A and B are shown apart, each in its own frame.
Chain A
Amino acid sequence: EAQVTQNPRYLITVTGKKLTVTCSQNMNHEYMSWYRQDPGLGLRQIYYSMNVEVTDKGDVPEGYKVSRKEKRNFPLILESPSPNQTSLYFCASSFWTGANTGELFFGEGSRLTVL
C-alpha cells in the first residue's frame, strides 16, 4: 500500500530536549516536505527536498533541521524544542517532474506538545 509514515504520532516533551520526527514514503517520490498546522494559520511549509541531498527552507524553518540521505526518508529534527513549536506536523511526498510537483500524499500527522 502506498503510504507516508510518520513517527511518533503523538509526543509530549520538555523545552530543550532534542527530538526527531521520522518520515518515510514507499512510492519512490523525489519531492518531500514538512508542514506545520496551527489553528487559523493553515499549513505552513518548514522545509522541502527535491531529491537526495537537496533540501531548502520553506516559510518557517527557524528551529528545525532536516536531512535527506535516502530517497525514502526525510526526518525532521528539533535540536532544542520550545513551546512555540507545539503544533501538528505533516510530512508529505510527491513525484517531481522538474518543474512541478504531482499530487501530494500526506502522512497521518504528528502532534507535538513542548512544555
Chain B
Amino acid sequence: QQPVQSPQAVILREGEDAVINCSSSKALYSVHWYRQKHGEAPVFLMILLKGGEQKGHEKISASFNEKKQQSSLYLTASQLSYSGTYFCGTLSNSGYALNFGKGTSLLVTP
C-alpha cells in the first residue's frame, strides 16, 4: 500500500524553505527518502528508523514520528539543484515490501 505524500507539487524561489510530508496507514519500521530528476533514476537521500530520529543531509533533513506513522522532509534555503520529484518509501513492521508514494514535484526558480 502506497504511503500518502503531500503536497503534490511545490514551487519555490531560491532560498525559500519547503516541507514534504509522508504518512502511512501501517505501523512503520523505516522511512526512505529519494529524489528523482527528470529522465533519471531515483537517488537516495536518507533512511530513518523507528525511534523518532531526525537526520540531516546538508540543508535537507527529515524526521520520523513512528506513533503517527508520519515522516517529513525539510528543505531549507532551497537551491536550484533541489528541483525534482521527491519520493518517500516505507517499510512496515509486518512485511518486507518497500512501498513508495506518488511523489512530490518540487520546482525551485531563480
Contacts and interface: CB of A to CB of B under 8 A. Distances in A.
Given A56-B96, A59-B1, A100-B30, A42 B87 contact: yes
A44 interface: yes
Contact of B102 (A31, A33, A41, A50): A41
A90 interface: yes
Contact of B44 (A33, A56, A103, A108): A103
A59 B47 contact: no
B2 A44 contact: yes
Interface string B85-100: 0010101000011111
* Interface of B (DSSP majority class): strand
A50 B96 contact: yes
Interface string A93-115: 00010011111111111000000
Interface string B24-62: 000001101010000011111001010000000000000
Given A40-B102, A101-B32, 20 more contacts: A33-B98, A43-B87, A43-B89, A43-B100, A44-B2, A44-B100, A45-B97, A50-B96, A58-B97, A58-B99, A59-B2, A100-B47, A101-B30, A101-B91, A103-B32, A104-B42, A106-B41, A106-B43, A108-B40, A109-B41
